[in-house]
Amino acid sequence: MYAQMVETGLKNVRSIDDMGQEERAFQARIDEGIKIEAKDWMPDAYRKTLIRQISQHAHSEIVGQLPEGNWVTRAPTLKRKSILLAKIQDEAGHGLYLYSAAETLGVSRDDLLAALHSGKAKYSSIFNYPTLSWADMGAIGWLVDGSAIINQIPLCRCSYGPYARAMIRVCKEESFHARQGYDIMMSLCKGTPEQKAMAQDALNRWWWPSLMMFGPSDAASVNSAQSAQWRIKLFSNDELRQRMVDQTVPQIEYLGLTVPDPDLKFNAETGHYEFGEIDWSEFNNVLKGNGPCNRERLQTRVKAYEDGVWFRDALLAYADKQAAVKAAA
Ligand code: BYC
């Protein structure tokens, strides 16, 4: 990816001539594929980029519980309900690993949460869409977790050790999530015509937002080139998006559903599917906070945090009391 970006002209990248000795040695370690650990020297900009990306990722996992949480009480069977609950609980766990990985870079969890609650920090655009039917649980697991896996598998090999290691477990769990999503879609597609129509409707609504999850096009991405030089990103947004389309279209066909893209066609020469233009104005609008559920998602998170104050206070009071008892003994 980096070589390709050199060819097309790098944007916002540190040149080797601007680097001091420490930074050159740091870049050389990265180029050799050596992991950077929390206590190693690193440029401020590398630290800042990782804090930005890892905290956004953590926030996405936490806010990502909300669209599915909406269906826990309405799951069609006890089995589906327990699977959904387990999946949502996994997402909470992913958020916690990722906040811990961000903390290794010297930032506090309280500050990260304050940035989320004030609307300053971003989280994935995908979680600002509503979940209107049970089929959305299938579409989210299959398409959203499926896209997350495609994005996150390379992160298991990224240059920052604590992030890479956190991603290994996350990816294993995401793979179970994607399968359970596809299983819901399979059941609906084998069911009544109304159930199949519900599956098609969910696909129609989640397809394009899932493609947007991978971020702006390579031409518009401000951070990609520098993140590639630092091996935080091993593949570009467009490369991963293409991988998602190539992998998912045959799955859509297997379900007997239709891709909601009249411009989609397979190019036998390249071996890839060509797809229609993404509506970037919709993506940018969601990023600005104006998606269908942005305000509701943030309000729900802030309320949950405020409702938990008494519980966190109780834990701290208990810990203080235990420490005092220990000190007195
Ligand atoms: N939504 O220069 P670019 C999950 C922002 S959770 C919102 O390409 P970068 C799951 C980007 O942050 C899924 N914002 O940036 C959970 C940047 O803004 P700032 C989350 C987006 O960082 C529960 C600006 O646009 N996954 O899987 O090189 C249930 C320019 O973009 C989005 C991760 O976070 C977006 N979709 O690349 C189920 C994975 N896209 O910060 C599933 C880790 C871009 O400069 N993150 N932006 O103000 C990444 O791989 C990268 O951060 C991105 C963006 C590919 C997302």
Q: What is the pLDDT of residues 193-219, one digit of tens each?
A: 999 999 999 999 999 999 999 999 999
Q: Tell me the pLDDT band of 18, cut-offs 50, 70 and 90.
A: confident
Q: Which two tokens stand for residue 147?
A: 């896209």
Residue 229 Cβ inside 6 Å of ligand 1? The answer reads: no
Q: Which of 46, 48, 60 to mutate to test the pocket of ligand 1 (most atoms within 8 A of CB)?
A: 60
The pLDDT of residue 19: 87
Q: What is the mean pLDDT of residues 271-276?
A: 98
Quote the percentage of the chain above a pLDDT of 70. Answer: 96
The CA distance from 139 to 180, in Å, is 10
- For residue 24, pLDDT over 90 is answered with yes
Nearest CA to ligand 1 atom 37: 215
Three-class DSSP category at 302: helix
Residues 297-311: tens digit of each pLDDT: 999 999 999 999 999
Residues 154-170: tens digit of each pLDDT: 999 999 999 999 999 99
Judge whether 221 and 237 are in contact, CB under 8 Å. Answer: yes
Q: List 267's β-bridge partners, or say none.
A: 272
The CA distance from 47 to 102, in Å, is 9
DSSP 197: H
Token pair 């990985």 in the structure block, residue: 101
- For residue 62, pLDDT over 90 is answered with yes
Of the candidates 262, 254, 139, which has an alpha carbon nearest to the alpha carbon of residue 202? 139
Q: Which of 54, 89, 122 to mutate to test the pocket of ligand 1 (most atoms within 8 A of CB)?
A: 122
Nearest CA to ligand 1 atom 33: 57
Residues 307-325: tens digit of each pLDDT: 999 999 999 999 999 999 9
- For residue 2, pLDDT over 60 is answered with no
The pLDDT of residue 7: 57
Q: Tell me the pLDDT band of 327, cut-offs 50, 70 and 90.
A: very high
- For residue 9, pLDDT over 60 is answered with no
Residue 148 Cβ inside 6 Å of ligand 1? The answer reads: yes
The CA distance from 41 to 191, in Å, is 58
- For residue 138, pLDDT over 80 is answered with yes
Q: What is the mean pLDDT of residues 14-40?
A: 93
Q: How far does the centroid of ligand 1 lie from the alpha carbon of residue 291, in Å?
A: 16
Q: Kindly give, in sequence order, each residue whose CB lies less than 8 Å from that of residue 205, ignoring residues fewer than 6 positions away.
A: 129, 132, 136, 139
The CA distance from 74 to 123, in Å, is 26
Residue 144 Cβ inside 6 Å of ligand 1? The answer reads: yes
Q: List 274's β-bridge partners, or say none.
A: 265
- Region for residue 138 given its phi and psi (left: phi exceeds 0; alpha: psi -120 to 50; beta: otherwise): alpha
Q: Rounded to whole angstroms, what are the CA distances from 204 to 171, 244, 252?
A: 26, 16, 11
The CA distance from 197 to 161, in Å, is 45
Residue 162: CB atoms within 10 Å? 21
The letter for the amino acid at 34 is I
Residue 53 Cβ inside 6 Å of ligand 1? The answer reads: yes
The pLDDT of residue 1: 61
Judge whether 134 and 152 are in contact, CB under 8 Å. Answer: no
| pLDDT mean across residues, the chain | 95
Any idea which of 6-15, 86-95, 179-188 has the lowest mean pLDDT? 6-15
Residue 60 Cβ inside 6 Å of ligand 1? The answer reads: yes
Token pair 């509506």 in the structure block, residue: 279
Residue 136 Cβ inside 6 Å of ligand 1? The answer reads: no
Ligand 1 atom with minimal separation from the 87 CA: 29
More confident call, 6 vs 282 = 282
Tell me which H or E stretch contains 274: strand 272-274
Q: What is the mean pLDDT of residues 95-122?
A: 97
The pLDDT of residue 15: 82
The CA distance from 46 to 40, in Å, is 12
Q: List 265's β-bridge partners, or say none.
A: 274
Tell me which H or E stretch contains 273: strand 272-274
- For residue 4, pLDDT over 70 is answered with no
Domains, in order of start, for the chain = 16-328 (1.20.1260.10)
User: What pTM was computed for the model?
Assistant: 0.94
The pLDDT of residue 13: 82
Q: How far does the centroid of ligand 1 lie from the alpha carbon of residue 256, in Å?
A: 31
Q: What is the mean pLDDT of residues 245-253?
A: 98
DSSP codes of every residue in 108-156 = -HHHHHHHHHTT-S---GGGGS---STHHHHHIIIIIIHHHHHHHTGGG
User: From the CA atom positions of the chain, what is the Rg in Å?
Assistant: 22
Q: Rounded to whole angstroms, what are the CA distances from 306 to 6, 34, 110, 196, 303?
A: 48, 42, 13, 41, 5
Q: How far does the centroid of ligand 1 lie from the alpha carbon of residue 185, in Å?
A: 26
The pLDDT of residue 10: 53
Q: Which of 53, 59, 234 to mutate to test the pocket of ligand 1 (most atoms within 8 A of CB)?
A: 53
Helical residues (DSSP H) of 13-77, grouped into ranges: 21-31, 44-63, 65-69
